[in-house]
Amino acid sequence: MSADPRTTPPTIGRLTAPAAWHTVDLISDLHLQASEQATFEAWRSYMANTPAQAVLMLGDLFEVWVGDDAAVQDPFLQRCAEVLRQTAQRAHVAFMPGNRDFLVGPDFLSACGVQPLTDPTLLTLGQQRILLSHGDALCLDDKPYQAFRLQARNPQWQHAFLAKPLAERQEFARNLRALSESQKHEGMSFADADLEMSLFWLEQAEADQLIHGHTHRPADHALGSAVRHVLSDWSLDHAPLRAQVFRLTRDGDAVGDVGDVDVSDVRYERLDLPRDHF
Ligand SMILES: [Mn+2]
**Ligand 1 centroid from CA 22, angstroms:** 28
CATH number at residue 26: 3.60.21.10
On whether residue 125 sits in a domain, the answer given is: yes
**Ligand 1 centroid from CA 66, angstroms:** 16
pLDDT reported for residue 257: 43
pLDDT reported for residue 180: 76
pLDDT reported for residue 264: 59
**Ligand 1 centroid from CA 27, angstroms:** 12
Q: 208 and 224 in contact (C-beta within 8 Å)?
A: no
pLDDT reported for residue 178: 82
262: pLDDT strictly greater than 70: no
Chain-wide mean pLDDT for the chain?
91
**pLDDT range class, residue 258, cuts 50, 70, 90:** very low
**Ligand 1 centroid from CA 2, angstroms:** 23
Give the pLDDT confidence of 61-106 residue by residue, as tens digits: 999 999 999 999 999 999 999 999 999 999 999 999 999 999 999 9
**Ligand 1 centroid from CA 194, angstroms:** 15
**Ligand 1 centroid from CA 257, angstroms:** 44
On whether residue 135 sits in a domain, the answer given is: yes
Domains identified in the chain, total number: 1
**Ligand 1 centroid from CA 81, angstroms:** 20
pLDDT reported for residue 188: 54
**pLDDT range class, residue 210, cuts 50, 70, 90:** very high
In this prediction, residues 114-118 reach a mean pLDDT of 98
**Ligand 1 centroid from CA 214, angstroms:** 4
pTM, full prediction: 0.93
254 vs 112: CA distance, rounded Å: 30
Torsion angle defined by CA atoms of residues 45, 49, 52 and 54, in that order, rounded to the nearest 10 degrees: 50
On whether residue 258 sits in a domain, the answer given is: no
**Ligand 1 centroid from CA 100, angstroms:** 6
Host domain of residue 191: 12-252+263-272
On whether residue 17 sits in a domain, the answer given is: yes
Strand order in the sheet with 244-251: 115-116, 92-95, 54-57, 23-27, 244-251, 265-272
**Ligand 1 centroid from CA 212, angstroms:** 10
On whether residue 26 sits in a domain, the answer given is: yes
139 vs 55: CA distance, rounded Å: 25
On whether residue 4 sits in a domain, the answer given is: no
187: pLDDT strictly greater than 90: no
On whether residue 3 sits in a domain, the answer given is: no
pLDDT reported for residue 185: 57
**Ligand 1 centroid from CA 25, angstroms:** 18
On whether residue 175 sits in a domain, the answer given is: yes
